[in-house]
């Protein structure tokens, strides 16, 4: 199997110091996941200056939307998608790029929310992404139910899997690309295989090379 493309994500702003820490201690990321908005005690929000800094290193930005605490109901999924689009436009992120909804494994989640995220985001020109753990919680069942109702969910959405989690590594020691996937049709193009590195406050990821075309 082809090795995945290596990258990281962080709740903290990417400063020159943080970037150099990652480059020295872990490797040179091809992409960096960052949050579109500030969520108190959870994540610092992206800025245009930060996007410029990341891209000047030759690294692509993977945008994440996490200003929600549960993923249930069609109406709330629509609101989340519209908010994500608003912030992506505010930050100058162009169309045809993925915006990932951050669905933690302890969140309530249902098929209606997932369908709304995809069906609301896709017509805006942005691509719907879903960060989730297919092995814990309600995500896999909800996702497959959404696919059963509308197969375009499987066609249009990209999943960033949070399982399994063997642990953070240096780029050279990354595992083979084998993310967990839902038991139905799914584009699992990214895998967060390690969280909370001991050195540098980042998580480590692998991605299918196709993902890079849809990152900023």
> Strands 203-207 and 188-194, how do they pair?
antiparallel
CA dihedral 38, 40, 44, 45 (to 10 degrees): 0
Tell me what the mean pLDDT of segment 7-28 comes to: 97
pLDDT at residue number 2 = 53
Sketch out the chain's domains with CATH numbers.
Answer: 5-214 (3.20.20.80)
Q: What is the pLDDT of residues 58-104, one digit of tens each?
A: 999 999 999 999 999 999 999 999 999 999 999 999 999 999 999 99
Tell me what the mean pLDDT of segment 36-48 comes to: 94
Q: What is the pLDDT of residues 156-194, one digit of tens each?
A: 999 999 999 999 999 999 999 999 999 999 999 999 999
pLDDT at residue number 41 = 87
C-alpha span between 27 and 67 (Å, rounded): 30
Tell me what the mean pLDDT of segment 38-52 comes to: 95
pLDDT category at 18 given cuts 50, 70, 90 is: very high
The residues pairing with 124 across neighbouring beta strands, listed in sequence order, are: none
pLDDT at residue number 186 = 98
pLDDT category at 1 given cuts 50, 70, 90 is: very low
Please report where in the chains the tokens 């605490």 appear, as a residue.
Answer: 69
- Tell me: pLDDT of 134 over 90: yes
- pLDDT cut 90: percent of the chain above it: 97
């Amino acid at each position: 199997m082809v090795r995945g493309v290596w990258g990281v994500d962080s709740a903290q702003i990417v400063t020159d110091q943080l970037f150099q820490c990652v480059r020295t201690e872990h490797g040179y990321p091809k992409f960096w996941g960052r949050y579109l908005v500030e969520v108190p005690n959870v994540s610092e929000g992206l800025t245009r200056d930060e996007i410029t800094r990341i891209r000047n290193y030759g690294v692509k930005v993977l945008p994440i939307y996490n200003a929600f605490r549960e993923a249930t109901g069609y109406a709330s999924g629509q609101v989340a998608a519209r908010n994500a689009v608003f912030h992506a436009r505010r930050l100058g992120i162009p169309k045809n790029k993925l915006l990932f909804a951050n669905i933690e494994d302890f969140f309530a989640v249902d098929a209606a929310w997932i369908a709304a995220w995809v069906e609301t985001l896709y017509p805006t020109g942005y691509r719907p992404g879903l960060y989730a753990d297919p092995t814990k919680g309600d995500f896999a069942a909800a996702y497959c139910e959404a696919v059963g109702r509308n197969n375009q969910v499987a066609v249009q959405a990209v999943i960033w899997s949070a399982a399994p989690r063997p642990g953070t590594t240096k780029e050279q020691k990354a595992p083979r690309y084998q993310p967990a996937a839902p038991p139905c049709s799914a584009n699992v193009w990214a895998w967060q295989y390690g969280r909370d590195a001991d050195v540098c406050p980042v998580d480590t990821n692998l991605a299918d090379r196709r993902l890079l075309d849809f990152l900023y």
